[in-house]
């Protein structure tokens, strides 16, 4: 379905104005030129949206009381990061309650976190003793330097992912590493479940990436993509989440892939990317 002229905006990725399509009954928009997808309608500023209620009920089922699950996730992300990056200076943008920082510090990294939510940043500092600065990463970034920047499920939330990525590039030493994880709108579950795919989350997720569109945005902002893959949501489940959601995702994965595998080159729910600062490329 074509959008009305007055609803058309420039695509954030290719900057084309017009020719965008409505997707998921108008919940999303898709650029017909480059395939980039974003949430239709106005957005609430992140510092207003991610209050304590988000971590207790709106976005999570009591994030602060689920230490076992959060540490399980952090351990899996740390193993992934450690497959290419050794202990060094690390900044995590959007560190939430600080569990990944805790894991990375325990593995020998020198860590700093940045978190826009006062509730989450306070928890990281007061309960876990992590060095976390509260505020927008894009504003804090000029005062930071690191060998690796991590952002797990952050890029889909920010005001402008290009500004965020350019800020991350500025933090990194020459040749430094960027580790990203975002929902994959090209996943098997997204295609099968549509609006019922949990990661659509239109109130919170403003930008929706595929391996191709995220790669293009990274190239445009001064990075070289080294590798990407996808994992299914089950990769991070401990304990089993709500049974209905688990069943729906499992069926979608099985239909697409023929087996309930944990990883896939491009059909998993979650897209993971390693990129490096490309010093010969001027960010756009």
CATH fourth-level superfamily of 46-277: Vaccinia Virus protein VP39 (3.40.50.150)
Query: What residues contact 238, with CB distance under 8 A and at least 6 apart?
Result: 68, 69, 72, 73
pLDDT of 271 higher than 60: yes
- What is the per-residue DSSP string for 126-188? HTT---EEES-HHHHGGG--EEEEEEES-TTTSS-HHHHHHHHHHHEEEEEEEEEEEEBTTSH
More confident position, 55 or 284: 55
Which two three-digit tokens encode residue 185? 């709108």
Query: What residues contact 243, with CB distance under 8 A and at least 6 apart?
Result: none
- pLDDT, tens digit (0-9, with 9 covering 90-100), for 222-246: 999 999 999 998 888 875 555 455 5
pLDDT given at position 249: 58
Average pLDDT over every residue of 251-261: 58
> Domain spans of the chain?
1-42, 46-277
CA–CA separation, 111 and 249 (whole Å):
34
Nearest to 160 by CA among 12, 7, 48: 12
- pLDDT, tens digit (0-9, with 9 covering 90-100), for 30-73: 999 999 999 998 888 888 899 999 999 888 888 999 999 999 99
Mean pLDDT taken over the chain: 90
Residue 274 three-state SS: strand
pLDDT band for position 260 (50/70/90)? low
**pTM of the predicted protein model:** 0.90
Contact 114, 93 (CB under 8 A): yes
């Amino acid at each position: 379905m074509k959008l009305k002229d007055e609803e058309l905006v420039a695509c954030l990725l290719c900057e084309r104005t017009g020719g965008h399509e409505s997707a998921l009954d108008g919940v999303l928009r898709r650029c017909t030129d480059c395939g980039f997808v974003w949430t239709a309608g106005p957005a609430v500023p992140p510092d207003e949206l991610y209050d304590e209620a988000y971590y207790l009920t709106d976005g999570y089922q009591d994030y602060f009381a689920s230490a076992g699950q959060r540490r399980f996730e952090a351990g899996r992300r740390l193993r992934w990061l450690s497959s290419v990056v050794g202990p060094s200076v690390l900044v995590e943008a959007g560190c939430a309650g600080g569990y990944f920082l805790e894991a990375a510090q325990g593995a020998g990294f020198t860590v700093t976190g940045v978190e826009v939510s006062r509730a989450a940043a306070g928890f990281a500092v007061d309960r876990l003793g992590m060095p976390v600065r509260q505020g927008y990463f894009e504003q804090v970034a000029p005062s930071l330097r690191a060998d690796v920047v991590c952002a797990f499920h952050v890029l889909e939330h920010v005001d402008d992912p290009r500004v965020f990525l350019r800020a991350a590039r500025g933090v990194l030493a020459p040749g430094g590493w960027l580790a990203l994880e975002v929902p994959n709108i090209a996943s098997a579950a997204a295609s099968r479940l549509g609006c019922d795919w949990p990661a659509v989350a239109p109130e919170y997720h403003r930008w929706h990436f595929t391996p191709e569109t995220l790669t293009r945005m990274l190239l445009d902002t001064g990075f070289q993509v080294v590798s990407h893959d996808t994992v299914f949501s089950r990769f991070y489940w401990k304990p089993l989440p709500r049974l209905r959601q688990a069943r729906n995702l499992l069926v979608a994965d099985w239909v697409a892939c023929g087996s309930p595998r944990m990883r896939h080159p491009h059909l998993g729910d979650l897209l993971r990317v390693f990129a490096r600062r490309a010093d010969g490329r001027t960010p756009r």
